[in-house]
Structure 1
Amino acid sequence: MEEDNEVGLPQKGLNMIIKDVLPEMRIANESRELLNQCCVEFIKHVSREAQNISSHDQRKTIYHEHVQRALINLDFTQDYVEAADSVLDECKVAAEKKLRRKNSRLDKCGIPEEELYMMQQRLIEQARIKQEQQASQAQEGSSGEIHMGQSLFTQPTTAEYDDEYDT
């Protein structure tokens, strides 16, 4: 790739794909670069066709059905469509596993989700009450009861101190 900002596949990923397909073959750097550019052109070609299909369906999002129809419209064999379907299924399974891993911490705590929700709501309510109390205290403090130069915290007189801490 001649420019640093040119789009392409990560070199490591491309190398892994090549090694998976051709484990015994060495590939020249120029060939790797050419394969990378071919991959980019393939993706552009299929995505343009899928975008045309989604626009025709009056959609702003390209869905897997659009990609499948794009492959068919571009005269790719049914093998490509089936491979795309199997990759989609693998992605769905991986996404479910990731979600389950994320939720496993919730499961491990041993508290039902409904109870956790209720605990959360109580904490939110307590925080709201505390915030309202602080706001009303601040309002009372600014209502003219405190005069210039007077501190919020005053030292107790000697008599008050003796009464409070009599031993």
Structure 2
Amino acid sequence: MSDNERSGSTVDDDLSLPKATVQKLINEMMPDDVVCAKDTRDLLIDCCVEFIHLIASESNEICEKETKKTIAGEHVLASLKALGYEDYVEEVDDVFKEHKKQQKDRDKKSTRLEKTGISEEELLRQQELLFAQSRQKFEAQNQ
């Protein structure tokens, strides 16, 4: 018998959202004169986790129907539509596009660095040299 079976918990009990972060979001969303009880926060977390499971499960089914092995953003968008959350699709799609753009920008930066032909050791040496020059300028200005 595993520890989870003895304690009566399941693997899903280990999946949650950070309580402090959720509490911060609640505090930001609620009027100043409204206090949210811990039980309410915990119930909200449970609902969010259940929603995530629902979307992930539907996305996985859509992914499998397309004989894909990895759930992609398009599968999540399709699952939102299939489950009746059309109102969220546009905003989620905008965030997804922004994420893809940031990822491309990050990839470009790493490729640009590789194209310089300068080794990591040389870059670190140059960086230390620039720091030393900056320290000298700073110290000269303060004297």
Taking structure 1 as the reference length, the TM-score comes to 0.54
Label 1:71 to 1:115 Cα distance change in 2 as closer, same or farther (>3 A). closer
- 1:94 & 1:26 partners in 2: Cα distance? 37
* Residue from 16, 23, 26 that aligns with 1:15: 23
1:71 aligns with 2:80: yes
1:18 maps to a residue whose letter is: I
Once residues 117 and 71 of structure 2 are traced to their aligned partners in structure 1, the CA distance between those partners, rounded to angstroms, is 39
Structure 1 pair 18/96, CA: closer, same or farther in 2 (3 Å)?
Answer: farther
Gap change, CA 1:50 and 1:115, over 3 Å in 2: closer
- Aligned residue type for 1:58: T
**Partners in 1 of 2:26 and 2:94 — Cα distance?**
20
For residue 91 of structure 2, the aligned residue among 78, 83, 104 is: 83
Q: 2:135 matched to which residue of 1?
A: none
Percent identity among equivalent residues?
31
Alignment of 1:49-68 (within 5 A): 49-68=58-77
Aligned length: 109
Unaligned runs of 5+ in 1: 107-111, 121-167
Amino acid at match of 2:46: Q
| 2:30 alignment partner AA | L
Q: Compared with structure 1, are the counterparts of its residues 21 and 89 closer, same or farther at alpha carbon in structure 2 (3 Å cutoff)?
A: farther
Q: Distance in 2 between matches of 1:73 and 1:37?
A: 22
**Structure-to-structure mapping, 1:1-167, within 5 angstroms:** 6-24=14-32, 25-77=34-86, 79-95=87-103, 103=110, 106=113, 113-116=115-118
Aligned to 2:133: none
Measured against aligned partners, the alpha-carbon deviations of 1:35-73 in whole angstroms (never above 9, x if no partner) come to 000000000001000000000000010001100110111
Q: Secondary structure in 1 aligned to 2:48?
A: helix
Flag the structure with higher helix content. Answer: 2
SS of the aligned residue for 1:26 comes to: coil
Which amino acid in structure 2 is aligned with residue 42 of structure 1?
F
Structure 2: which 5+ runs fail to align?
1-7, 123-143
Q: Counterpart amino acid of 1:116?
A: I
> Amino acid of the residue matched to residue 40 of structure 2?
S
Q: Which has the larger radius of gyration?
A: 1
Q: How far apart in 2 are the matches of 1:97 and 1:113?
A: 15
